Amino acid sequence: MLLDAARETAAQAVGCRPDELVFTPSGADALHTGIAGALAGRRRVGRRLVVSAVEHSAVLHAAAAHREAGGAVTEVPVDRTGRVTAAAYETALSDDTALACLQSANHEVGTVQPVADVAGVCAGVGVPLLVDAAQSLAWGPVEGGWSLLAGSAHKWGGPPGVGLLAVRKGVRFAAPPPVGEREQGRSPGFENIPAIVAAAASLRAVRTEADAAAARLRSLVDRVRERVPELVPDVEVVGDPVRRLPHVVTFSCLYVDGEALLHALDRAGFSVSSGSSCTSSTLTPSHVLRAMGVLSEGNIRLSLPPTPDESVEADVERFLTVLPEAVREVREQLNAPTASPREARSVPDSSGLTVDALGTLCPLPVIELAKVIDDVPVGGVITVLADDEAARVDIPAWCEMRGQEFLGADGTEFRIRRVT
């Protein structure tokens, strides 16, 4: 009975029927089950899966598994704000497409996706759309004619250990084996009833306060987006400025080691996240920032809590006070170029100049490039040798920020033309 009540509460918040919703042990599990089940249910149609380039890693892992099992995957690109277009999905959908996936909003940069438009395009050709709603369920139901939807309780402030998967009636679905007796065979194992009850209750609770919290956080996020570039030189604020989650704000700082900045902010009492390569174990920058084509070095993500507490505003103000000095220190340690010197220095050879940054890690290749740009005349070409993965993202991003021309990369050789 507790489980039934929790299911009804969650279904109401999601906007589906209770018998369309099952609980899973995590959001990742809901995504994996939803994707595998929808692909299996439409296997006769074809084996193509369409996903955006900025989906959560759980979706991309499922896509990789599908590819390894012989399926096909099409990635839909995003613009510099991290947003897809319905037209891009329309192009990607083919006769053999079994399933399309799209997040309701991006987890790293907060950009809200045009889910209703994409759902319309999918419905037009009879392809089910699975929405990863993990980021947005706290704020409201997902609009539009989606077919499947996944969520994660700890993302809406509920307990860990609970995900949810909604599968609309009429959607072809074959639960991935092994199939258990519980949750319509869509989630094996003993249900975590205390956590499920807490998850449903917390979803209802956060929804009650969602509009007020969103308005409050939006003004704080806007303040961060406006003030950070004023306070810190050479910063790129990323993500759509308007169509965005209320509580997430992300920016990247040129010539900054994200790991070092994270530690500096941690010492000041701020626990923030980063999509920089140097902060992860994989040494590759965030796939989201890469797909957007924006700077990945010195990347910082603030997630503001939805509590109606005045200390949040005070914390944001204190963050804005602490940040400029923290960035300055990290840059100083790296001997980064200071903002805009821009007078031409010695010109060794007008035909070009090569900088060897092989073996150095983000943000050093970009720093080396910035240091020598004024050593070549306008029109001159610099070649940077760099084998750090982040250079593929950050050298073009630096060119974009500085108004220089990125000529392209060939293996570990990056070519840049000085324009200004």
Residues that bind its own copies (CB under 8 A): 25-29, 32, 57-58, 61-62, 64-65, 68-69, 152, 154, 159-163, 177-181, 188-195, 281
Whole-number Å distance between alpha carbons of 329 and 331? 5
Whole-number Å distance between alpha carbons of 66 and 130? 15
Whole-number Å distance between alpha carbons of 382 and 369? 8
Tokens of 304: 């503001």
Q: Shortest distance, CB of residue 176 to its own copies, whole angstroms? A: 8
Strand partners, 24: 163
Q: Shortest distance, CB of residue 393 to its own copies, whole angstroms? A: 20
Main-chain phi, psi angles of 97, to 5 degrees: -80, 120
Q: Shortest distance, CB of residue 101 to its own copies, whole angstroms? A: 13
Q: Shortest distance, CB of residue 357 to its own copies, whole angstroms? A: 28
Selection from 386, 391, 380, 383 nearest residue 418 by Cα: 380
User: Three-state DSSP class for 379?
Assistant: coil
Q: Shortest distance, CB of residue 124 to its own copies, whole angstroms? A: 29
**CB nearer to its own copies: pick between 125 and 179:** 179
**CB nearer to its own copies: pick between 62 and 133:** 62
Q: Which of 101, 253, 278, 362 is catalytic?
A: 278
User: Residue 278, class by beta-carbon neighbours within 10 Å (0-12 exposed, 13-18 middle, 19+ buried)?
Assistant: buried
> 278 an active-site residue?
yes
How open is the CA angle 382-260-392, to the nearest 5 degrees?
Answer: 30
Selection from 126, 153, 141, 145 nearest residue 41 by Cα: 126
Whole-number Å distance between alpha carbons of 109 and 250? 6
Q: Shortest distance, CB of residue 201 to its own copies, whole angstroms? A: 16
**CB nearer to its own copies: pick between 144 and 159:** 159
**CB nearer to its own copies: pick between 154 and 223:** 154
**CB nearer to its own copies: pick between 27 and 337:** 27
Q: Shortest distance, CB of residue 111 to its own copies, whole angstroms? A: 22
Length of the chain: 420
Q: Shortest distance, CB of residue 85 to its own copies, whole angstroms? A: 27
- CB-based contacts of 189, cutoff 8 Å, min separation 6: 25, 180, 182
Whole-number Å distance between alpha carbons of 183 and 190? 10
Whole-number Å distance between alpha carbons of 149 and 234? 39
Could you count the other beta carbons within 10 Å of the beta carbon of residue 20? 20
Tokens of 287: 């796939």
**CB nearer to its own copies: pick between 95 and 181:** 181
Whole-number Å distance between alpha carbons of 108 and 272? 12
Whole-number Å distance between alpha carbons of 185 and 111? 34
**CB nearer to its own copies: pick between 24 and 111:** 24
> Is the bond leading into 18 cis (omega within 30 degrees of zero)?
no
- Which contiguous run of DSSP H or E holds residue 209? helix 193-231
Q: How far from chain centre, in Å, is Cα 117?
A: 20
Residues marked active site are found at: 278
